[in-house]
Amino acid sequence: MHAREKLRNIAIIAHVDHGKTTLVDKLLQQSGTFRDNEAVQERAMDSNDLERERGITILAKNTAINYKDFLINIVDTPGHADFGGEVERIMKMVDGVLLVVDAFEGTMPQTKFVLRKALESNLKPVVVVNKIDRPNARPAEVVDEVLDLFIELGASDEQLDFHVVYASALQGTSSLDPEKQDANMEAIYETIVNHIPHPTEDTEQPLQFLVTLMDYNEYLGRIGVGRVNRGKIRQGQSVAVMTREGGTKQARIEKLFGFNGLKRIEIEEAGAGDIIAIAGIKDINIGETVADPANPEALPVLKIDEPTLQMTFLVNNSPFAGREGKWVTSRKLRDRLFKELETDVSLRVEETDSPDAFVVSGRGELHLGILIENMRREGFELQVSKPEVIIRQIDGQKMEPIERLIIDVPEDSMGAVMESLGSRKAEMVNMINNGSGNVRLEFLIPARGLIGYRTNFLTLTRGYGIMNHAFDSYGPYLGANVGGRHEGVLVSSETGVSTLYGILSVEDRGILFVHPQTEVYEGMIVGEHTRDNDIIVNICKEKAVNNIRSANKEETVKMKTPRLHSLEQALEYLNDDEYCEITPKSVRLRKKILNKSERERAEKHRKMAEANA
Query: Residues annotated as binding site for GTP?
Result: 17-22, 130-133
Q: Which H helix or E strand runs over 359?
A: strand 357-362
Other C-beta atoms closer than 10 Å to the C-beta of 235 total: 18
Other C-beta atoms closer than 10 Å to the C-beta of 490 total: 24
Give the closest residue to 204 by CA, choosing from 226, 230, 228. Answer: 230
Other C-beta atoms closer than 10 Å to the C-beta of 542 total: 10
The answer to whether the CB of 30 falls within 8 A of the CB of 94 is: no
Q: Give the strands of the sheet with 248-252, arranged side by side.
A: 248-252, 238-242, 289-291, 208-217, 221-230, 275-279, 255-260, 263-266
Considering only CA atoms, give the Rg of the chain. 27
Other C-beta atoms closer than 10 Å to the C-beta of 208 total: 23
Ramachandran angles phi, psi of 191, nearest 5°: -65, -40
Q: What is the C-alpha to C-alpha distance for residues 313 and 309, in angstroms, rounded to an integer?
A: 13
Q: What is the C-alpha to C-alpha distance for residues 258 and 270, in angstroms, rounded to an integer?
A: 8
Q: Which long-range contacts (CB under 8 A, 24 or more apart) does 441-445 make?
A: 441/406, 441/407, 441/409, 441/414, 441/417, 442/404, 442/405, 442/406, 443/404, 443/405, 443/406, 443/407, 444/402, 444/403, 444/404, 444/405, 444/472, 444/475, 445/402, 445/403, 445/405, 445/421, 445/469
Binding site residue list? 17-22, 130-133
Q: What is the C-alpha to C-alpha distance for residues 339 and 349, in angstroms, rounded to an integer?
A: 10
Q: What is the C-alpha to C-alpha distance for residues 384 and 48, in angstroms, rounded to an integer?
A: 24
Q: Going along 103-245, which residue ranges are E strands? A: 124-130, 163-168, 173-175, 208-217, 221-230, 232-234, 238-242
The answer to whether the CB of 280 falls within 8 A of the CB of 220 is: yes
The CA–CA distances, whole Å, from 121 to 11, 62, 90, 370, 371 equal 12, 19, 10, 29, 30
Q: What is the C-alpha to C-alpha distance for residues 170 and 175, in angstroms, rounded to an integer?
A: 14
Q: What is the C-alpha to C-alpha distance for residues 302 and 321, in angstroms, rounded to an integer?
A: 42
Give the closest residue to 168 by CA, choosing from 97, 78, 103, 76. Answer: 103
∠ CA 224-75-338 to the nearest 5 degrees? 40
Q: How many Cα atoms within 13 Å fall on the side-chain side of residue 558?
A: 2
Q: What is the C-alpha to C-alpha distance for residues 240 and 536, in angstroms, rounded to an integer?
A: 64
Q: Which residues contact 553 (CB under 8 A, 6 or more apart)?
A: none
3-state DSSP helix/strand/coil % of the chain, to nearest 5: 25, 30, 45
Buried b (16+ CB within 10 A) or exposed e, 142-166: bbebbbebbeeeebeeebeebbbbb
